[in-house]
Amino acid sequence: MRPIQMVDLKLQYQKIKPQIDEAVLQVVESCAFINGPQVQSFTTKLSEYTGSKHVIPCANGTDALQIAMMALGLQEGDEVITPSFTYIATTEVIALLKLTPVFVDVDAQTFCINPADIERAITPKTKAIVPVHLYGQAANMEEIMKIAEAHKLYVIEDNAQAIGCDYYFSNGTVKKTGSIGTIGTTSFFPSKNLGCFGDGGAMMTEDDSLADQLKMVANHGQSKRYYHDVVGCNSRLDTIQAAVLEVKLEHLDEYIAARRAVADYYDAAFAGHSEITTPFRSSSCKHVFHQYTLILNGVDRNKLHDYLAEHKIPSMIYYPVPAHRQKMFSHFNSSSTELPVTDWLTERVISLPMHTEMEQEQLQFITDKVLEFITLNHTV
Ligand SMILES: *Cc1c(COP(=O)(O)O)cnc(C)c1O
């Protein structure tokens, strides 16, 4: 059996090596390393794939969030509503821009921000909501957009973990996550569902003038060459990364299908075991399984992690400390915020290996070992 990894980037690369190598070599030979034609052609293809009118590439998913908040003109002291149960980048950029993060709880089933908690957190200072489509499952965008419209708030979708996820509105409309809010942001970090060979990111919007603003902020606040209208930053997607992404985008749907097949295998193996809650499958979206994350009931999660490690099975805790309990936010006194679902999940979640190249034999071994541990160590 091949060694089990959380993500097997080598094997994924091997399968498309000729196309990738040719695409990268073309960039190297052209020496158009910055803003070469592949940046535009990839961006156009991603815009077609996601159905977003404008896709603006940038250097990484954290920059994408930051540039989105800058382009919307958010000002010091403005409140931004965000889940605490997310990767730190989502919340960090809020504080970096001297905005105030307002942490709210998540839904225990979807792991995503809870609309009812958003409504309770709105004040006259609230300017934006940042839902995160965590682990590849969409937040409740229908409710979130209603709340945002009623209170005239911007919505920045952190779509770093859910690129390609279809969201179904109750009126039958289908949209990709990231194309629903005011701005969608994503990351092309190598282990993401659409990953490049380094760092990369993008923003999407339907709004023409906002697209201009995003481009301007990402490019030194420049409206035309050497004329700088606003304070911006330097955040670009390298041509080599765009070339890699252009090849990989062709495979994204097949990658998503492979991830969903792994999830189906896990779901079936764990069905009927009350100690294990498998990921919720919402009827309002098609989960793209960036992560396959279990909730353990009456079983020591950390001991399971160690047991699996003894058998050379990696597993991860995403995330061991929620944002509102991080030292970096202590001046907001955020740890006194009551987020019972977030705290509850933080103690109980564990993510199993999930990638596009998993083999049946590996899946069987992983599920056998998980079940073996559960049977031996049920404590409650
Ligand atoms: C990966 C990730 C980011 C940041 O992306 P980078 O490209 O690493 O900067 C932001 N938000 C979430 C939810 C992520 O998973």
Mean pLDDT of 122-130: 98
Q: Let me know: does 91 contact 103? Beta carbons within 8 Å.
A: yes
Q: Let me know: does 130 contact 94? Beta carbons within 8 Å.
A: yes
Residue nearest to atom 3 of ligand 1 (CA): 61
CA 189 / ligand 1 centre spacing (Å): 7
Q: In degrees, to the nearest 5, what angle opens at C-alpha 76 toward C-alphas 62 and 54?
A: 45
Any residues with CB less than 8 A from the CB of 310 and at least 6 apart, and which? none
Residue nearest to atom 2 of ligand 1 (CA): 160
- Report the atom number in ligand 1 closest to the C-alpha of 161: 15
Residue 378 is predicted with a pLDDT of 65
Mean pLDDT of 78-106: 97
- Report the atom number in ligand 1 closest to the C-alpha of 199: 7
CA 99 / ligand 1 centre spacing (Å): 19
Q: Let me know: does 370 contact 277? Beta carbons within 8 Å.
A: no
**Count of Cβ atoms closer than 10 Å to residue 59 Cβ:** 21
For 265-281, what is each residue's pLDDT tens digit?
999 999 999 999 999 99
For the chain, list the domains and their CATH numbers: 9-249 (3.40.640.10), 252-377 (3.90.1150.10)
CA 332 / ligand 1 centre spacing (Å): 23
Tokens of 240: 């080599």
Q: Let me know: does 364 contact 266? Beta carbons within 8 Å.
A: no
CA 61 / ligand 1 centre spacing (Å): 5
Q: Let me know: does 84 contact 262? Beta carbons within 8 Å.
A: no
Q: What are phi and psi of 130, to 5 degrees?
A: -120, 85
For 229-265, what is each residue's pLDDT tens digit?
999 999 999 999 999 999 999 999 999 999 999 999 9
SS3 203: strand
The CA distance from 260 to 281, in Å, is 11
Please determine, for residue 331, whether its predicted confidence score (pLDDT) is greater than 80. Answer: yes
Residue 376 is predicted with a pLDDT of 87
Q: What is the mean pLDDT of the chain?
A: 97
For 7-64, what is each residue's pLDDT tens digit?
999 999 999 999 999 999 999 999 999 999 999 999 999 999 999 999 999 999 999 9
Q: In degrees, to the nearest 5, what angle opens at C-alpha 64 toward C-alphas 61 and 70?
A: 150
Residue 254 is predicted with a pLDDT of 98
Query: Is the four-CA dihedral 50, 169, 70, 335 of positive or negative sign?
Result: negative
Residue 379 is predicted with a pLDDT of 59
Q: Is 192 a catalytic residue?
A: yes
Please indicate, yes or no, whether the overall pTM of this predicted structure exceeds 0.85: yes
Residue 157: band (very low, low, confident or very high) from pLDDT cuts 50, 70, 90: very high
Cβ of 60 less than 6 Å from ligand 1: yes
Residue 337: band (very low, low, confident or very high) from pLDDT cuts 50, 70, 90: confident
Cβ of 187 less than 6 Å from ligand 1: yes
Residue 298 is predicted with a pLDDT of 92
Query: Which listed residue (176, 192, 248, 286) is catalytic?
Result: 192
CA 379 / ligand 1 centre spacing (Å): 36
Cβ of 339 less than 6 Å from ligand 1: no
Cβ of 90 less than 6 Å from ligand 1: yes
Residue nearest to atom 6 of ligand 1 (CA): 61
Cβ of 57 less than 6 Å from ligand 1: no
